[in-house]
């Protein structure tokens, strides 16, 4: 039985990323990111998208799919948007699986440090929802000597605006509540 799918496309701050939003349903409960075709083996939908030679990453979250194309030798979005939209729509209309059981979500590394727990709580309540609205995600990775390191996912990966986001948004917000944090640094995974 075919499912009715209403899908629209949203631009995001990263010019190499695009967000494909499902208007009538949910895809996942948590965010998942796939950086290679073999990683995407747990998601038939992501694997179909990763088959396109210019796709570098795919992120699935709640009601959207974020697609990152390669920076080099990639076609312009206007020439590939409808191909990607068609792949997603056809997959969903056919009621094929989105994820298999056991898929690993994007999640924070755990820590017993009280400053880290406070930072993760603040990130989960304010920072991550804002990043996810733009088709990405920002996740805690480690904390050493006052330096909080975060990983960038989805549209946040290689976004030209990430340092502005960190230095003018994330870092002051965290430092305002947790004075032990001296600096926030991104790592690219």
Each residue's pLDDT tens digit in the chain (189 positions)?
677 889 999 999 999 999 999 999 899 999 999 999 999 999 999 999 999 999 999 999 999 999 999 988 899 999 999 999 999 999 999 999 999 877 777 776 777 788 888 999 989 998 889 899 999 999 999 999 999 999 999 999 989 998 998 999 899 999 998 999 999 999 866
**End of a domain among 93, 128, 146?**
93
Structure tokens at 40: 């995407």
Instruction: Tell me the backbone φ, ψ of residue 183, rounded to 5 degrees.
Output: -155, 150
Q: What is the CATH number of the domain that holds 14?
A: 3.30.1370.70
CA dist 104 and 118 (Å) reads: 24
Name the pTM for this structure: 0.88
Residues 118, 184: one domain? Answer: yes
**End of a domain among 93, 127, 160?**
93
DSSP for 80-127, please give it.
Answer: THHHHHHHHHHHHHTT--S--TTPPPP-PPP---HHHHHHHHHIIIII
Q: Is residue 104 part of a domain?
A: no
Residue-level pLDDT at 11: 95
Residue 170 sits in which domain range? 114-188
Q: Is residue 106 part of a domain?
A: no
**End of a domain among 93, 122, 143?**
93
Query: Comparing C-alpha atoms, which of 42, 179, 63 is closest to residue 119?
Result: 179
């Amino acid at each position: 039985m075919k499912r009715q799918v209403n899908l629209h496309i949203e631009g995001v701050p990263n010019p190499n990323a695009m967000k494909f939003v499902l208007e009538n349903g949910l895809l996942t409960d948590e965010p998942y990111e796939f950086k290679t075709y073999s990683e995407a083996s747990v998601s038939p939908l992501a694997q179909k998208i990763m088959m396109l030679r210019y796709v570098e990453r795919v992120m699935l979250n709640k009601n959207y799919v974020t697609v990152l194309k390669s920076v080099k030798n990639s076609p312009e979005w206007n020439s590939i948007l409808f191909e990607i939209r068609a792949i997603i729509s056809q997959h969903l209309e056919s009621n094929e699986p989105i994820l298999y059981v056991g898929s690993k979500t994007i999640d924070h590394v755990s820590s017993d440090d009280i400053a880290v727990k406070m930072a993760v709580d603040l990130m989960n309540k304010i920072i991550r929802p804002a990043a996810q609205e733009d088709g990405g995600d920002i996740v805690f990775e480690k904390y050493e000597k006052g330096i909080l390191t975060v990983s960038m996912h989805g549209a946040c990966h290689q976004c030209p605006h990430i340092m502005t986001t960190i230095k003018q948004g994330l870092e002051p917000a965290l430092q305002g509540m947790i004075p032990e944090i001296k600096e926030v640094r991104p790592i690219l995974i």
